Structure 1
Amino acid sequence: MNNRILGIAALALAAMMIWQGHDLQAPFSYEPLGPRAFPLLIAAVMALCGLRLAIRGGGQAPANPPGANTRIAAMFGVIVGYALVFQWAGFIIATALMTLLVGRLFGGGWVGPAIGGVAGSVLLFVLFDRVLDVVLPVGLLGAWL
């Protein structure tokens, strides 16, 4: 029954995404498809997967291993925290910190996730902000960037 409930929830979420994304318009046309193509495509794929789960089910899902629910709640907290500090701290600091915390949640040490977080956030910042011209917040590092 768990898979059917998930399928129905996915169908409801897809319907809300289609409803919200259908009227999405950009003030100027910068690409042939416009800004609504991506959310509508994601909603359609989600609806197909949800429909499959709602119709076929799949039986009972196995229980989470011990400690998994705590890590899931912590991951939700990390994502909410990331959204809250993203503008203020800037992309590089917020993304590096999020990567470090997610790495720790999945059993990593301190050094590996820290190095990966800093390197990845700097490389992504350069790629998006400087190469692709997608403006990202600089936050606390504004004087150096």
Structure 2
Amino acid sequence: MNDRILGIAALVLAAFMTWFGHDLEAPFAYEPLGPKAFPLLLALVIALCGLTLIIKNRHTADPNPPGANARIGVMITIVAGYAMLFQWLGFVISTALMTTLVARLFGGRWVYAIIGGVVMGVAFFLLFDKVLDVVLPTGLLGDLL
């Protein structure tokens, strides 16, 4: 039954991605397919995986161990907070904060979680902004970056 529930959730997610991704239009044409190709292709893959889970349903999963559902809820809250604070705090701070909290959620020690979060925030900013030329919000660190 767990596979079918996950398959239905995947179909709902794919429908949601298709609904929002279908109307994506860029103000200028920088590639032939445009920005809607990626979310629509990803929605197709997710939908096919969801259908496979619904139809085949050969595997049964054990119920989640105690506390797992609470950790899943906390993870969803962390990701939602990341999305809300991303623009205001900027990529580096919000990514460092999110990574630190996720590391702690999975049992990491505070020192390693903070170091890993800061390193990932800075490294991914440099990769995306400087190497790949993807503009990211600088937020509170605007003048330093």
Fold-level similarity (TM above 0.5)? yes
Counterparts of 1:46-125 in structure 2, within 5 Å, are 46-125=46-125
Is residue 2:24 matched to residue 1:24? yes
Residue matched to 2:45:
45
How far apart in 2 are the matches of 1:6 and 1:62? 14
1:81 CA displacement: 1.3
Identity across matched positions, percent? 66
Residue aligning to 2:130: 130
Where do 5+ consecutive residues of structure 2 fail to align?
A: none
The residue identity in structure 1 corresponding to 2:101 is: L
Cα distance, 1:15 vs structure 2:
2.8
Please name the residue that 1:144 is paired with.
144
Equivalenced residue count is 145
Q: Within 1, Cα distance between the matches of 2:18 and 2:81?
A: 27
CA distance in 2 between partners of 1:105 and 1:130 (Å): 31
Kindly report the root-mean-square deviation, in angstroms, between the aligned alpha carbons of the 2 structures.
1.6
Question: How big is the shift at 1:46?
Answer: 0.9
Residues 132, 87 of structure 1: alpha-carbon distance in 2 compared, 3 angstrom cutoff: same
Matched position secondary structure for 1:35: coil
Q: Which amino acid aligns with 2:36?
A: R
How big is the shift at 1:59?
4.5
Q: Point out where structure 1 has 5 or more consecutive residues left out of the alignment.
A: none
- Please give the secondary structure, in 1, of the residue aligned with 2:86: helix
Q: Secondary structure at the match of 1:30?
A: coil
Q: Once the 2 structures are TM-superposed, how far is the Cα of residue 92 of structure 1 from its aligned partner?
A: 0.7
TM-score normalised per structure 2: 0.90
TM-score, structure 1 as length reference: 0.90
**Cα offset for 1:110?**
0.8
